[in-house]
Structure formats: C-alpha cells, structure tokens
Amino acid sequence: PSLGLKVVTAECDGFAGEVAHRWTGEFDDAVFALYDHRTNGVSLRRSIGSDIDLSRLAGAFDGGGHAAAAGCNIPSPTDGRAAVIAHKITDVLTRKHAK
C-alpha cells in the first residue's frame, strides 16, 4: 500500500545528520537513510512532516535510537549500496503498515 512516503538514500563520509537536515526542506514526508563510510553504519532521519518512528525502523535491523533519529547496520554490497538500502527499508515499512 502507498504510504505517501519517500525513502531517500545516499552515501556520505561523515556528517550524515547535517546532510539530512539540509534535505528536510526539500522533501515533505520522507525518511533519510544515509550510509556513513566513516562508521559503516546507516543514519536514519526523517523530514518534519513524517511521523515514522525511526527507533522502530532501526530496530528491524538490530539498531536503535529515537523517534526522529536512529541508526543501524544494513548489510549491503559496495555496488548499488544506496538502492539496496532503500529497498530493504521500503520492505520493512511496507510490512509494518500492511498489518
């Protein structure tokens, strides 16, 4: 089912929170998943209009955090990493809202 939600993924070299903060004004209802090369982890943030609980989303990948900011590890290949992460996050969000 359509949640009207955008999943935005990217790779960065640190400063994941700052990258997501800059994008929050460009996307209404969005979840940002930023793979950080420094930590090899995924930083999750959400846009102001989103009510997705990122701590629960991160928990699906054995991570944690807060409702608006969380982190986790999502195994993904080097090639196409952002697309794989987006697909895995979309699968989790779709499963949780399909119930």
What are the pLDDT digits (tens) for 33-84? 999 999 999 999 999 888 999 999 999 999 999 999 999 999 989 899 999 9
Whether residue 1 has pLDDT greater than 50: no
**d(C-alpha 99, C-alpha 84), whole Å:** 23
Which one-letter amino acid corresponds to residue 73?
Answer: N
Smallest CA-to-CA distance from 59 within 69, 72, 46 is with 72
